Chain A
């Protein structure tokens, strides 16, 4: 799932080399922390969070497959 967030984020930003995803494992849930260059924040969030929402939906599909709960957090 980390790979998924990384791949999508890299496809969206101007500075793919600055995309970083950290996976924090909880007992039944996983938190994926996405960091991008400051200039790219808007590119992964989108107007009214539309892009962030779409990333979360797609990652959720992967999570359902692995029977897990996943949260994607975009870190400033």
Chain B
């Protein structure tokens, strides 16, 4: 649904009804007044209600791309933000440019928090949207995945050699999943997670 027509006693009332129906914030819509309300003569002939057409200005994916672009620019980074892919479940944003390490942060912490904010902002502005935003910078996520897979193999080996449980650093759910999957086929170790978010971490233990 990208636009609705609503009638109500006043334009204001019709507008708040319409944005409720569209599930968006007022800043994201354009209002076209079809009929101004009129009172009628001495209320004898009955008034005419206000009628308006309210349309969503931007697609959610375009909205969040522009929003992230704005944030990146205010930070002072000269980068491009593109929608690299969009499907029913996800909106993939890709940030390109130079010196983006700052935006990635230690083990991707800044990137992950930026992505978290993007999701909160998108769902606040468009209540009906169920897609998740995934932000990547210069293929960082792919590289991090490979690093974690390597780490998982090395630490599994270490756990066996020392016959001891190995505690990993706290990680995001997605990163923990990469570790669990990497060692799923390993018959000599088991993996599980321990602790509360955001400090939850993976443990690798010999069987």
Contact present for A61 and B110 (CB under 8 Å):
yes
Q: Considering only CB atoms, which chain B residue lies closest to A62 in the complex?
A: B75
Asked whether B121 lies within 8 Å of A12 as measured between CB atoms, the reply is: yes
CA distance A33 to B76 in the complex (A): 21
Check if A43 is an interface residue, CB within 8 A of chain B: yes
A46-B120, A65-B75 known; A58 and B67 CB under 8 Å? no
B71–A16 CB distance below 8 A: no
Is A8 positioned at the interface, with any CB of B under 8 Å from its CB?
yes
Mark out the residues of chain B between 101 and 141 whose CB falls within 8 Å of any chain A CB in the assembled complex.
Answer: 102-103, 105, 109-110, 113-114, 116-117, 120-121, 124-125
Q: A12-B124, A61-B110, A65-B102 are in contact. Are A54 and B116 (CB under 8 A)?
A: yes
Contact size range, A: 20 to 34
Q: With a CB–CB cut-off of 8 A, which chain B residues contact A4?
A: 71, 74-75
B-contact bits for A1-30, CB 8 A (1 contact / 0 none): 001100110011000100000000000000
Per-position binary interface string of chain A over residues 37-64, scored 1 when its CB falls under 8 Å from any chain B CB and 0 otherwise: 0000001001000110111011011101
Residues of B within 8 A of A11 (CB): 67, 121, 124-125
15 contacts between A and B (CB under 8 A): A4-B71, A12-B120, A12-B121, A12-B124, A54-B113, A54-B114, A55-B117, A57-B105, A58-B114, A60-B110, A62-B75, A62-B76, A65-B75, A65-B76, A65-B102
Chain B interface residues (CB < 8 Å from chain A): 27, 67, 70-71, 74-77, 102-103, 105, 109-110, 113-114, 116-117, 120-121, 124-125, 198
